[in-house]
Amino acid sequence: MLEVLDLGNNKIIDSFPYWLGELRKLQVLVLRFNNFYGFEWGSSEFNSSFPMLTILDLLHNNFSGHFPTRFFENLKAMMNLDEAKRKLNYMGETYYQDSLAMVVKGFEIQLQKIVTNFTTIDFSNNCFHREIPNSIGKLHSLRLLNLSQNSLNSHIPLSLGNLTALEALDLSSNKLVGVIPSQLVGLTFLAKLNLSQNHLVGPIPRGNQFETFQNDSYSGNPGLCGFMLSNKCDINEAPQPESSIDHDEEHNISTWLDWKVIMMGYRSRLSLGLSIGYIVFSTGKPRWFLRMIDGLIQRYNRKTKQK
């Protein structure tokens, strides 16, 4: 019946306890700040491993080797949370209260309550090497992924673009090579990105959340170029992706929000301005919205001149 196991901040010296995967209800496993080692084992030991796990924290141990692909394929609870878990529920709220210390978006915090739909993997500060497996891209409900301060030396897999619920991604202080995949632009919930201290090259993708990340997200990659860096790209800079809203829908919105609506709002310009400001900032300054507003202003100016 065990749901939460926190062995963090001890002096345990042992190999990874893969046999815990047989605990059918285990949702949280924290082994951070110990001396665990190893992580590779036979494929036969992966059958039905950790089917309910949503939080896995291996921060600051001595794990080495490469990530077993099949391990991530068995994390079924991180692939698609059912509707019941999408509601704001807390682990153990009916009979006890769980709490947990975690690194979230670069800051260590104390979670006084653990939300059932909170999903995270933290393998940082270990000795993992080789590639990031494509199978991580199947964890569609994953919110936080931290693989920083290891020795990963492959490309960033395109499959990370499938993690549509991801809010924080930290791949810093590895030996990653190649370009930043343009597929990551599709992660519209991504609020924290750290790709610093690697060997990445080429232009930084443009669009969506990538318009908000600062220089420190990419520092230590002298081969990168981009509009936010001192190293600007040539004309071959990564193109901006098309808006997720098609042209017909954008036209319909523009038609609905006619210049007459703007004129009606002129008398209550404060509330209209606050409404527009809220929409722009809460959605990350969507380009289609800014283009629409610019077009309406131009139409209004033309009509004013005609009068």
pLDDT band at 166 (very low <50, low <70, confident <90, very high): very high
Euclidean distance between CA atoms 26 and 151, whole angstroms? 29
Residues 6+ apart with CB under 8 A from 248: none
Domain boundaries, the chain: 4-175, 247-306
CATH of domain 4-175: 3.80.10.10
Q: Which residue has the tokens 């969506």?
A: 208
Per residue in 243-279, is it b (16+ CB within 10 Å) or e — as a string? beeeeeebeeebeeeebeebeebeeeeeeeeeeeeee
Euclidean distance between CA atoms 194 and 275, whole angstroms? 32
pTM for this predicted structure: 0.71
For 265-288, what is the mean pLDDT? Answer: 43
Q: For 62-81, what is each residue's pLDDT tens digit?
A: 998 888 778 888 899 999 86
Q: For 238-258, what is each residue's pLDDT tens digit?
A: 445 444 434 444 444 333 333
Q: How many CA atoms are closer than 13 Å to the CA of 195, on its beta-carbon side?
A: 24
